[in-house]
Amino acid sequence: MTASNTAVVGEGFVVFDRVQKSYDGATLVVKDLNLAIGKGEFLTMLGPSGSGKTTCLMMLAGFETATYGEIRLDGQPINQVPPHKRGIGMVFQNYALFPHMSVGENLAFPLEVRGMGKSEREAKIKRALDMVQMGAFAHRRPAQLSGGQQQRIALARALVFDPKLVLMDEPLGALDKQLREHMQFEIKRLHDSLGLTVVYVTHDQGEALTMSDRVAVFNDGMIQQLDAPDELYERPRNSFVAQFIGENNKLPGTIEAIEGNKALVRLATGEVIDATPVNVTHKGQKTLVSIRPERVEFKPEMMPEGAHMIGAEVIEVIYMGDILRARLHVAGSSDFVMKMRNTIGQTKLSPGEAVRIGWDPQDARALEPL
């Protein structure tokens, strides 16, 4: 698998320049990170637990110190600047509101720390609460609010002093699915309307794809891929990204030949298919062919021109409302998934049925195995 932390670092609004972090002096949890984030950008750091994403956010906030390298904000090095002087707003998963203070007092706190006068404080508090549609709740205590309301207040507190940058660490993790999805759009609306620069950390790939201008996919302390959401989903650069972003079929095989932008792959059962070579280079190399479930068809009239056809056996079909999800036995794999729109008159599939499936060769990517 190939990965790189050496994305070109220009003079972005936020810059990580050769940043490393070790807690024990031996093991690097962040490995030579080079990353530039533009002013007004919504960048998400996405990855599993222990991948280094939260450590990067904490170094940017000032709660952790980089072992090596430099972090810059708006052109100025901030490694030695204490957190409260960085001008950064922060939103946490657990809200971190003061329980003994009212909502208004919670929002006043960061303004008082900055020496702001009472009338200016009151104006900023009203504006921030109105931004998150919580203007009528200034006198309530956090315990009198629902989880979603508390998260809105935490967001308002992060915005109340007009920060240069807003950092969000798994801010929606404690909310139920429907509320979480609603808050995703609320945060994105505020980002767009206020021109905020946001660095957002999550392990939820759906959240990252929904909200971000760009996503940095982390694993093992390194950025595996840094791209727009559609690029990550449609054109993953290695097996980790293909597996982590969305649902993905993986067929093991061996490279038979590479001809320009086409690889011939022999599958475990002997079939030879075309795929786009991504990080495979030579005949005999092991590969995983990546195919998204929604790119697979079983109706001849829906097959794209030049589609590969391959035999399959239906194992199970699951009704999911708007889609039908079929699990198939394909080329030795019993975990191959096909997703179909649930339409009136849809041809039904039954367990044990033999079918022919196909996909556009351009939708198959030959990746180096993990």
pLDDT of residue 361: 87
Q: How confident is the model at residue 92 (pLDDT cuts 50, 70, 90)?
A: confident
Decide if pLDDT at 260 tops 80.
yes
Q: Torsion-angle region of residue 282: left (phi > 0), alpha (psi -120 to 50) or beta?
A: beta
- The span from the CA of 71 to the CA of 219, in Å, is 20
Buried b (16+ CB within 10 A) or exposed e, 166-175: bbbbbbbebb
What average pLDDT does range 63-79 have in this prediction?
95
Q: What is the mean pLDDT of the chain?
A: 90
CATH 3.40.50.300 at 14-239, yes or no? yes
Domain boundaries, the chain: 14-239, 247-367
Decide if pLDDT at 5 tops 70.
no
DSSP one-letter code for 347: P
Predicted TM-score (pTM) of this structure: 0.87
What average pLDDT does range 140-149 have in this prediction?
90
CATH 3.30.70.2860 at 247-367, yes or no? no
Q: In the Cβ-directed half-sphere of 290, how many Cα atoms lie within 13 Å?
A: 28
At position 220, the amino acid (one-letter code) is: D
Decide if pLDDT at 346 tops 60.
yes
pLDDT in tens, 291-300: 999 999 887 7
Helix (H, G, I), strand (E, B) or coil at 53: helix
Decide if pLDDT at 48 tops 90.
yes
Q: Do 15 and 71 meet the contact criterion of CB atoms below 8 Å apart?
A: yes
